[in-house]
Amino acid sequence: MNCIVLDQGNTSIKWGLFQNDILCESGKIPDEIAEIVLNQLSAKHPIPFFYSSVRSDSEQQSFLARFTFCQPLPNENYPTYSYTTGVAGKDRLANVAGATSLFGKNESLVVDFGTCITYSIGRNNELLGGAISLGAQARLRAMHEYTGQLPFLELTETTKQFDNSTQGAMLSSVNFGILSELKGYIEYAMSEMSEITVVFTGTDAQHFAKQLNYRIFVELNLTLIGLYAISCANES
């Protein structure tokens, strides 16, 4: 099937053009230019646009009213899950669908690095559970905004666990704090499911994957791949 899938995150929209089951083109659209770019894409590609979002219901309805060429993917076509309270984010469900599409029905641990870091355990197109923590840039922003003198920094690589500068100490805490968190979750998942596949996606996936000594698959377009799989289910 030929279509474009849209993944609306907290600050931007990721899009992917699929033709005959192949992701041919993709991009990221900041909110401030969404109107221009989406209308250009629609004019260039007169094919179905499938939409998924993690934003509030009111924001989603506003989006669909503005871009009438987009159609939301039905909730029933996403992977299943059993939560005691609340609902699973559609980005996490799409990641599970993407992992199932790429790696089959066995267990997977998908780590998605964005505003938050989400950990999703999936199996056979079902979200079994997971965890959510603050992402790297959100941690750096919080240190700046909730203190009087700490600067605002962008994430950069560091090899020092302890540093003798304010900026170095901040970067160290974020980098090695997240690495320790990742190791803990990966080790626990592997102890419970010895054949589990570990998949990283999102903004900082490569940054952290190369610092860990595990077999990790990095697929930056995993969410888009999952949304395409969900859109194909919608067609069947």
The count of C-alpha atoms lying within 13 angstroms of the C-alpha of 76, restricted to the half-sphere facing its C-beta, is 3
- CA nearest 70: which of 148, 149, 8, 133? 8
- Cα(28)–Cα(224) distance, integer angstroms: 11
Contact, 50 vs 227, CB < 8 A?
A: yes
Q: Catalytic one among 91, 112, 163, 204? A: 91
- Cα(193)–Cα(92) distance, integer angstroms: 20
Cβ-proximal residues to 181 (8 Å cutoff; 6+ apart), any chain: 117, 133
- In the residue annotation, 7 being an active-site residue is answered as no
The torsion angle over the Cα atoms of residues 230, 80, 103 and 178, rounded to 10 degrees, is 110
Residues with active-site annotation: 91
